[in-house]
Structure 1
Amino acid sequence: MTQASKHTLSAEVREREYSPSSCIGGNYAPYIEEYATLSKAALNSASRHVELAYGSAAAHTLDLFLPEHGDSEPLPPLLLFIHGGYWQELSKASSLFAAPDCTQAGIAFAAIDYTLAPQASVHDMVLECRKALRWLHQHGEELGFDPQRIIVAGSSAGAHLAAMCCLRGWKDDADLPAGTPAAAVLVSGIYDLQPLIGTSINEALSLDESSALTVSPQGFDLTGFPPSIISWGEIETSEFKRQSQAFAELLDAMSVQYGTSIEMPARNHFNVILDLARPNTSLGDATRALFASLPVTFTRSK
């Protein structure tokens, strides 16, 4: 692990810069309500949906949506979504909005829950998300999707957790199966957690410099990191933009192949993720193109 970069912004500036609602007048409740409304509609309209447990803890559950496909067709790929909420809020129940866009495009979709702070540390959450990804890979064929074509996606804190799922050789957990995940879509993420120390966000997280470094993908050797889309909204704080740009630049500098960096015009930290798989949007089209680039190598066992 290499040490993530340190920053000299004052605590007051960091408080503002790491409050994404500061760009939209402070009230993000309407966006959370939109997540919930769209997710409820996705659940009500689903023809192939199941809720499953990937572990024994109360939060170790996921919702899986499958597209229609014939027995002679290859199993569909899977988009695994990890919700944001600063590791303290939200759930899979309000994270299902991309399911209809995915299934209509022949892509399976899953959203997971994980234990939130302060009941769990960020380190614990990383382990839970990696556990969910490992479980989905193990059970993909029987569940009805291709375990070799899983793309992990996340928004904000979820993008951080998704990035941690992509690390190879992380000393705190065994590597995920080879080629898992096959790619990633990281939206408005935080990849260096050190600037959060001393802000109100950290009250529930209790990060110190050592623990922040342990879960900051910006500070790791990214060899083996899968092809990725790094995206953020035009209407975001300078620090949120810098975090995404710096992570994309690090991937590029280390010769890690990734799809593209996309700043979404007229989108903010909260609504940019709604375009995750939406057709005729820059992010949605890029996500679909990333799926199209994955070779079909998995053969269903007899």
Structure 2
Amino acid sequence: MTSSAETSPETRSYGEDPAQVYDVLLPAADAPPAPGTVVVVHGGFWRKEYDRDHALPEARAFAAAGWHVVVAEYRRAGMPGGGVPGTLDDVRDLLASVAAQPDLPKPLVPVGHSAGGHLVTWVAGQPWATQRGIAGVVSLAGVVDLGASDRLHLGSDAAREFVGTGPSSEAWTSADPMTTLPPKVPVRLVNGADDDTVPPEVADAYVLGATAAGGDVTVQVVPGTDHMAIIDPSHPAFDEVLAAVRSLTSTSP
């Protein structure tokens, strides 16, 4: 591969399923080197109709800023093995694979949008997060509270479709970031003030509970920003996204 954000990504596998893959982008040749690897986890309410293709502009922007970048794919609801626990297993195994790659420098910073924001925030609560070299996670308009998502019927009850059951079940508890507070690594939330797909108040209980438990959690609500603008590199809000990632990579060991 050549060192450019404009080259075609290299695809690597972390499992046998066609969805258990990730793309690797190298930093742009003309960008000042940025420490670590950004792991982009796409959204789409965990549904099979939405894959990693729509996350490529965001990923290229991270590469243009100097980071190594991974664009994650995973089994989703409606796919064989997708949902809970399969999707969670995929994210765990993906990060183990990325952490083992000698050409992908640490620290790792998973950055997830929408349902991907849920997944990276779930990662932050897992006891193995620090073992993977994760400096922290960035949730962009993330569904960080499955209970709030359920009460608001976000994505036409997408959380129930993803988990396969409703609240209070063992599967629901295992998938909800609210049940693993405080997070084991720092969490940075960036939400759009004008987001009506995952409203910013979905994060309120998570932020309150995480900070009360002693977690390193911050939230930035960006004015004039809707659900998709938060991952649009041409939108001013993306400056806040870059700042959130830099805040984690610059303070990591």
TM-score by length of 2: 0.82
Is 1:128 paired with 2:86? no
**Using a 3 Å threshold, how does the CA distance of structure 1 residues 93 and 239 change in structure 2: closer, same or farther?**
closer
SS, match of residue 117 in structure 2: helix
Query: Is 1:216 aligned to residue 169 of structure 2?
Result: no
Q: Is the 8 A contact 1:64 1:109 kept in 2?
A: yes
Question: What is the Cα deviation at residue 269 of structure 1?
Answer: 1.3
* Shift of residue 280, structure 1, vs aligned partner: 7.4
Structure 2 stretches lacking a partner, 5+ long: none
SS at match of 1:251: helix
Name which of 89, 111, 115 aligns with 1:153. Answer: 111
Report percent identity of matched pairs.
20
In structure 1, the partner of 2:157 is 201
Q: Take 1:274 and 1:280, find their aligned partners in 2: how far apart are those partners?
A: 6
Give yes or no for contact 1:185–1:287 (8 Å, CA) kept in 2.
Answer: yes
Contact map agreement 1:197 1:208 (CA 8 A) in 2: no
**What's the CA shift string for 1:108-140, capped at 9, x where partnerless?**
11111111112222321111011101110012x
Q: Counterpart in 2 of 1:181?
A: 134
Task: After TM superposition, give the deviation of residue 103 of structure 1 in Å.
Answer: 2.0
State whether structure 2 residue 247 is matched by structure 1 residue 252.
Answer: no
Aligned counterpart, 1:46: 6
Deviations, residues 18-59 of structure 1 (Å, cap 9, x unaligned): xxxxxxxxxxxxxxxxxxxxxxxxxx9623731111111110
1:241-280 counterparts in 2 under 5 A? 241-258=200-217, 260-275=218-233
Give 1:165's match in structure 2, choosing from 115, 123, 134: 123
Please tell me whether the aligned partners of residues 230 and 237 of structure 2 are also in contact (alpha carbons under 8 angstroms).
Answer: no
Per-residue deviation, 1:166: 1.8
Alpha carbon RMSD of aligned pairs, Å? 3.0
Distance, in Å, in 1 between the alignment partners of 2:197 and 2:229 is 17
1:230 to 189, 194, 212: 189
User: C-alpha displacement at 1:62, in angstroms?
Assistant: 0.9
Assess if the C-alpha contact under 8 Å between 1:277 and 1:283 holds in 2: no
Contact 2:181 2:215 in 1 (8 A): no
- 1:157-193: CA deviations, max 9, x gaps? 1011111122234xxxxx3552532111011112232
Distance 2:70 2:208 in 1: 29
Change over 3 Å in CA distance of 1:110–1:280 after alignment to 2: closer
* Pair 1:204–1:105, CA change in 2 (3 A): same
One-letter amino acid of the counterpart of residue 124, structure 1? G
Q: Distance in 2 between matches of 1:62 and 1:99?
A: 12
Distance, in Å, in 2 between the alignment partners of 1:123 and 1:198 is 23
Say which SS state the counterpart of residue 101 (structure 1) adopts.
helix
Q: Distance in 2 between matches of 1:278 and 1:98?
A: 13
**Structure possessing the higher radius of gyration over alpha carbons:** 1
1:243 alignment partner AA: V
Aligned pairs, how many? 239
Q: Determine which of 54, 57, 81 is the counterpart of 2:17.
A: 57
Say if 1:168 and 1:222, in contact at 8 Å, map to a contact too: no
Alpha carbons 2:46, 2:115 under 8 Å: kept: yes
What is the identity, as a one-letter code, of the residue corresponding to 1:178?
Answer: Q
